[in-house]
Copies of this chain bind each other. A is one copy, B any other.
Amino acid sequence: MKEGLKSSLLNKIKVTDKFWRGYQELVMNTVIPYQKKILNDEIPGVEKSHALANFRIAAGLEEGEFYGMVFQDSDVAKWLEGVAYALEVRPDAELEERADKVIEIIEKAQQDDGYLNTFFTIKEPEHRWQNLQECHELYCAGHMMEAAAAYYEVTGKDRLLHVMERMAEHIGKRFGTEEGKEPGIPGHQEIELGLLRLYEVTGKENYKDLARYFIEQRGKDPDYFVKERKKRGWVHFDMDVHNREYNQVHATVYEQKEAVGHSVRAVYMYTAMAELASLYKDEKLYQACCDLWENMTQKRMYITGGIGSTVDGEAFTIDYDLPNDTVYAETCASIGLVFFARKMLDNVIDGRYADVMERALYNGIISGMQLDGKRFFYVNPLETEPGVSGKLYGYKHVLPERPGWYTCACCPPNVVRLLMSLGKYLWSETEEGVYSHIPAGTEAHFDKMDVTVESNYPWDGRVTYHITGKTEEETILGIHIPSWVRPGSVQVRINGKEKNITADVEKGYLILKRVWENDEVELVFPMKIRKIYTNLKVREDAGCVAFMRGPIVYCFEGVDNPGLLQSYHIFEDAKMEEEVCKEGLLEGCVLLKIKARKLETVGDSLYSDIAPVRTLTTLTAVPYYTWGNRGENQMRVWMRGE
């Protein structure tokens, strides 16, 4: 650990398994360098970013005009945050030097009063802070604070931290309920998370309080943005100010019971709520989080961990409305869901949260990135149809293949920062001990013990925890038993001795409390193929079957299965086998071989009273996250079944 730094989970946990370490290598070797070039407009034929140029202009280092979206600054922030985490995973002097230079520019772009935002500095200085609804000043600040905290956490360098502390001070002077301040709230939640990260690395209470203010103030006046708009008399995007649910200002956070509106805004807010609940031991706020959690994960979430059913406002819709082919399920929203789950675990160690984190991580998030790291999905559908998906009205947003990542600025860097800081999502450390949420391979150096996890998860269910105790106290090692494991079916050996764990599982965690020396805990999760059924209230999936093995959701693609995917029918007790893919793009993945009926239309009438002919066949299913890597074709997760 670097000197002068507050110890954090980030620094303590190294991801080592093939699966996630592979993703981290991909990000470091491919995504981050590419992204840097994009920000610098060094890739020909790619839409201009101008994001770094904006900072140089605002810093007075260059002449020119602002170019890009009003939130263009956040691209630089997210890149920096990803770089910070990457430097933790693998030091890289050249990359760090580049980042340092960017930070110098950012520092120079900051105004004397602490204000930092290149759009308003260069282009519309007279409009500063007038349009919180649309203009993302607080959003950009939040991302830059997250970057500053991460960079400080990893490198110990505090230049950007100080820049953002000054910005936080500027914001704190302006917004609040005290006399002389404005009771402002962000149009896109994010500042709360940034302030909480500043608090995390500096311990300064005022950041925590300011974050709390933004959360508490939200929805107190559901017409805040209506009034703000009326007062300023101008618009930026001309967004609908009366759709109060869109950015969750329809009610105070305590009164919100259902996940509504823009899904990324929602989960960023819930994350901040959950963190504040744990920091302030605020039971009422935690309860509000629980209500939202239950509604979202039990009524409004795809099997892949995708959230947001409609492109209209990239938003949640209503309970059990989960269409597969017109879905939104933005990659960023699933990432935000993981953020939220992780902060809920800081309140209560409960397997429900780890289960959802696992679901999103192994499925709906990494599906956002092409296996080569070069292209990205915003939208993660559960069914695609060539000629329809990406083409027809209502389906235009559902692309059947990943476009170049540069066309979408938000998801790629979000994937980067999550994957490069993955360690802290895998474990919790409390006064009582440590908790493994996901049995991925890691090397962790906690205060009271070191743990090395040997794992070939998600393909293999055998996971070994090697523990070296560092204290004479009794300490807990908690290991999450995923909810897909039937009670009693997981084998556990402690130092080679078989143990019946039924009595030791609390809220989804195997709780082992002892004075740890050099010990070994071996678990074998049963990796049998599971048929999954939806709650019948989900109209689109009723009467259908999906397949999972371990945490992996599977899908069927046209490239592996001849004919039409909708012509296959899964029947009861059909043979299901697994097969490790030996070569090609999916090498190392476990594929499924599923016996199924194939229906064939007799004749070529559109409608007929002659039942289709049935034959037996074997289908191949591939991990959902790998879909769309082998050309445009049909894909579906939910198959017609019995």
Interface pairs (24), CB distance under 8 Å: A298-B606, A303-B607, A310-B392, A317-B388, A321-B388, A326-B394, A394-B394, A484-B609, A531-B611, A533-B607, A533-B609, A533-B610, A533-B612, A534-B606, A535-B607, A536-B599, A536-B612, A537-B564, A537-B601, A539-B564, A542-B566, A542-B567, A542-B599, A543-B566
Is A385 among interface residues, defined by CB-CB distance under 8 A? yes
Check A543 against B604 for contact (C-beta < 8 Å).
Answer: no
Please tell me which one of the listed residues B326, B394, B607, B640 contacts residue A532 in the complex, with CB atoms under 8 A apart.
Answer: B607
Contacts of A530 in B (CB 8 A): 609
Distance between Cα atoms of A533 and B566 in the complex (Å): 13
Distance between Cα atoms of A484 and B610 in the complex (Å): 11
Is A130 among interface residues, defined by CB-CB distance under 8 A? no
Q: Mark A564-595, 1 if CB is under 8 A from B, else 0.
A: 10110100100000000000000000000000
Contacts of A321 in B (CB 8 A): 387-388, 392
Is A312 among interface residues, defined by CB-CB distance under 8 A? yes
Contacts of A393 in B (CB 8 A): 310-312
Residue among A538, A548, A606 with the highest chain B CB neighbour number at 10 A: A606
- What is the CB-to-nearest-CB distance from A499 to chain B, in angstroms, rounded to a whole number? 25
Contacts of A326 in B (CB 8 A): 326, 394
Is A8 among interface residues, defined by CB-CB distance under 8 A? no
Q: Take A298-B604, A393-B312 as given contacts and tell me if A532 and B609 are in contact as well, using a CB distance cutoff of 8 Å.
A: yes
Please tell me which one of the listed residues B298, B536, B605 contacts residue A601 in the complex, with CB atoms under 8 A apart.
Answer: B536
Is A615 among interface residues, defined by CB-CB distance under 8 A? no
List CB contacts (< 8 Å) of A103-126 with chain B. Answer: none
Please tell me which one of the listed residues B299, B605, B610, B611 contacts residue A606 in the complex, with CB atoms under 8 A apart.
Answer: B299
Residue among A310, A532, A604, A607 with the highest chain B CB neighbour number at 10 A: A607
Check B543 against A601 for contact (C-beta < 8 Å).
Answer: no
Distance between Cα atoms of A611 and B572 in the complex (Å): 10
Q: Take A299-B606, A542-B564 as given contacts and tell me if A533 and B394 are in contact as well, using a CB distance cutoff of 8 Å.
A: no
Check B387 against A318 for contact (C-beta < 8 Å).
Answer: yes
Q: Mark A18-54, 1 if CB is under 8 A from B, else 0.
A: 0000000000000000000000000000000000000
Contacts of A317 in B (CB 8 A): 388, 392
Distance between Cα atoms of A535 and B394 in the complex (Å): 23
Distance between Cα atoms of A297 and B318 in the complex (Å): 36
Is A504 among interface residues, defined by CB-CB distance under 8 A? no
Q: Mark A310-344, 1 if CB is under 8 A from B, else 0.
A: 11100001100100001000000000000000000
Q: Mark A597-627, 1 if CB is under 8 A from B, else 0.
A: 0011100111111111000000000000000
Is A301 among interface residues, defined by CB-CB distance under 8 A? yes
- What is the CB-to-nearest-CB distance from A513 to chain B, in angstroms, rounded to a whole number? 30
List CB contacts (< 8 Å) of A517-555 with chain B. Answer: 530-539, 542-543, 546, 548
- What is the CB-to-nearest-CB distance from A639 to chain B, in angstroms, rounded to a whole number? 9
Check A640 against B539 for contact (C-beta < 8 Å).
Answer: no
Check B539 against A606 for contact (C-beta < 8 Å).
Answer: no
Residue among A303, A530, A605 with the highest chain B CB neighbour number at 10 A: A605
| Given A312-B392, A318-B388, 9 new contacts (CB under 8 A) | A297-B606, A310-B394, A326-B326, A326-B394, A394-B394, A531-B609, A535-B607, A538-B606, A548-B609
Q: Which residue of B lies closest to A303 (CB)?
A: B607
- What is the CB-to-nearest-CB distance from A225 to chain B, in angstroms, rounded to a whole number? 21
Distance between Cα atoms of A99 and B543 in the complex (Å): 56
Contacts of A310 in B (CB 8 A): 392-394
Q: Mark A284-320, 1 if CB is under 8 A from B, else 0.
A: 0000000000000111010100000011100001100
Contacts of A297 in B (CB 8 A): 606
Distance between Cα atoms of A539 and B640 in the complex (Å): 11
Contacts of A606 in B (CB 8 A): 297-299, 301, 534-535, 538
Q: Which residue of B lies closest to A310 (CB)?
A: B393
- What is the CB-to-nearest-CB distance from A246 to chain B, in angstroms, rounded to a whole number? 12
Please tell me which one of the listed residues B532, B542, B604, B607 contacts residue A608 in the complex, with CB atoms under 8 A apart.
Answer: B532
Check A640 against B543 for contact (C-beta < 8 Å).
Answer: yes
Please tell me which one of the listed residues B303, B535, B539, B566 contacts residue A539 in the complex, with CB atoms under 8 A apart.
Answer: B566
Check A318 against B611 for contact (C-beta < 8 Å).
Answer: no
Contacts of A600 in B (CB 8 A): 536
Q: Take A387-B318, A599-B542 as given contacts and tell me if A535 and B611 are in contact as well, using a CB distance cutoff of 8 Å.
A: no
Q: Which residue of B lies closest to A298 (CB)?
A: B606
- What is the CB-to-nearest-CB distance from A108 to chain B, in angstroms, rounded to a whole number? 44
Contacts of A533 in B (CB 8 A): 601, 607-612
- What is the CB-to-nearest-CB distance from A14 to chain B, in angstroms, rounded to a whole number? 32
Distance between Cα atoms of A473 and B548 in the complex (Å): 75
Residue among A537, A543, A601 with the highest chain B CB neighbour number at 10 A: A543
- What is the CB-to-nearest-CB distance from A448 to chain B, in angstroms, rounded to a whole number? 36
Contacts of A539 in B (CB 8 A): 385, 564, 566
Contacts of A607 in B (CB 8 A): 303, 532-535, 546
List CB contacts (< 8 Å) of A366-412 with chain B. Answer: 385, 387-388, 392-394
